[in-house]
Amino acid sequence: MKYIQIANTDLKASNIVMGNMRLKELSLKDAETLIRTAMDEGVNFFDHADIYGAGTCEEIFADAIQMNASIREKMILQSKCGIRAKENYYDFSKEHILKSVDGILKRLKTDYLDILLLHRPDPLMEPAEVAEAFEELRSSGKVNYFGVSNFNPTQIELLKKYVPQKLVVNQLQFSIAHTPMIDSGIALNMQMDQSINRDSSILEYCRLHDMTIQAWSPFQHGFFKGVFLGDTDNFPELNEVINTLAKKYEVTATAIATAWITRHPANIQVVTGTTKPSRLQDACKGSEIPLTREEWYQIYKAAGNMVP
């Protein structure tokens, strides 16, 4: 397992992250097996959000592992807030952020979060108010570090104007079958869809500003449209290339799909959402596979992208 230093923190994190959004599908026993498998593989980073299973995923996580001080210190725990799922809107008010964190800590049975992310940008965000909330969370010891998710560079700059703490993470959708972060840079200024810059060059921005990128839904295409691995109707060429490389490296297709992300020099963390211990082990095998430059491009092209 490869570990990366999250810049501007004292956190040394596995580049494979266990995402807990789907934990509600599991019994406590199966959840425990999954978490222990992750830890046995060297995963030390666990991603949550207050809305996953309306809070039940955080509860299941803590109950399954019987959270206590000695387990807690082996883990880097990250959660997110800022989405009001039931009402279907975003809320970055100070009151909501503080209340959300209290709920998260209670459900995870811990005194502190290593990292808190703002889940999706709230157009009604008052950055000064967010700064007040962060200050209170930091000084009370409830949150050590802060970050964002699904933010573009300008939204981050706006927040940074008011928030004194470093924003250390940006969690973004990224998989072989979802590559807007790469596409526009490769096909700059061409008259084709691939050239559309959908995120104001967020990948380069994060690298320039030492923000660790975390890739969510690494095996999905579209917005939860399904898994591209094994989907030979929609991704015949991609699966063929992935399967050939899986044979070469003596791993599964899941490992190759993971390795395509970990191979990127930005040191991106892969947030896997599988509920199956064996698939999690497969993904962990992709932590360090040294895909060649040629193989990386071959996969990118097989996903339907052009290299002009």
Ligand X SMILES: NC(=O)c1ccc[n+]([C@@H]2O[C@H](COP(=O)([O-])OP(=O)(O)OC[C@H]3O[C@@H](n4cnc5c(N)ncnc54)[C@H](OP(=O)(O)O)[C@@H]3O)[C@@H](O)[C@H]2O)c1
Residue placing its CB nearer to ligand X in the complex, 219 or 300: 219
3-state helix, strand, coil in the chain (%, to 5): 45, 20, 40
- Nearest-angstrom CA–CA distance, 254 and 45: 19
Minimum distance, C-beta of residue 23 to ligand X, in the bound complex (Å) = 8
Residue placing its CB nearer to ligand X in the complex, 150 or 298: 150
Does 52 qualify as catalytic in the annotation? yes
Binding-site string for ligand X from residue 17 to residue 56, where x marks contact by CB under 6 A and - marks none: --xxxx------------------------x---------
Residue 251 neighbours by CB under 8 Å, 6+ apart: 282, 285, 286, 289
Q: Six-digit token pair at 31?
A: 């959840």
Residue from 15, 79, 171, 298 binding ligand X (CB under 6 A): 171
Residue placing its CB nearer to ligand X in the complex, 121 or 187: 121
- Nearest-angstrom CA–CA distance, 32 and 64: 5
Tell whether residue 274 is a contact of ligand X (CB under 6 A).
yes
Residue from 152, 212, 262, 272 binding ligand X (CB under 6 A): 272
Q: Six-digit token pair at 72?
A: 């807690």
- Nearest-angstrom CA–CA distance, 107 and 67: 10
Catalytic residue among 52, 145, 205, 300: 52
- Nearest-angstrom CA–CA distance, 278 and 275: 9
Minimum distance, C-beta of residue 100 to ligand X, in the bound complex (Å) = 15
Minimum distance, C-beta of residue 227 to ligand X, in the bound complex (Å) = 4
Residue placing its CB nearer to ligand X in the complex, 125 or 271: 271
Tell whether residue 285 is a contact of ligand X (CB under 6 A).
no
Q: Give the footprint of ligand X on residues 110-129 (CB under 6 A).
A: none
* Selection from 155, 259, 253 nearest residue 211 by Cα: 155
Region of 33-41, 95-103, 132-140, 217-225 interacting with ligand X (CB under 6 A): 217-225
Total interface residues for ligand X by CB under 6 A: 24
Region of 89-97, 205-213, 269-277, 294-302 interacting with ligand X (CB under 6 A): 269-277
Minimum distance, C-beta of residue 14 to ligand X, in the bound complex (Å) = 14
Minimum distance, C-beta of residue 308 to ligand X, in the bound complex (Å) = 29
Per DSSP, helices labelled H in 121-179 are 127-139, 153-162
Residue placing its CB nearer to ligand X in the complex, 82 or 153: 82
Residue 274 neighbours by CB under 8 Å, 6+ apart: 22, 219, 280, 283
Tell whether residue 147 is a contact of ligand X (CB under 6 A).
no
Tally the residues of the chain: 308
Residue placing its CB nearer to ligand X in the complex, 30 or 63: 30
Q: How many CB atoms lie within 10 A of CB 86?
A: 8
- Nearest-angstrom CA–CA distance, 85 and 112: 23
124 CB-contact burial (10 Å; exposed 0-12 / middle 13-18 / buried 19+): exposed
Positive or negative: CA dihedral 80, 86, 87, 93: negative
Active site members: 52
Residues in contact with ligand X by CB under 6 A are 19-22, 47, 149-150, 171, 216-220, 227, 229-230, 254, 271-276, 279
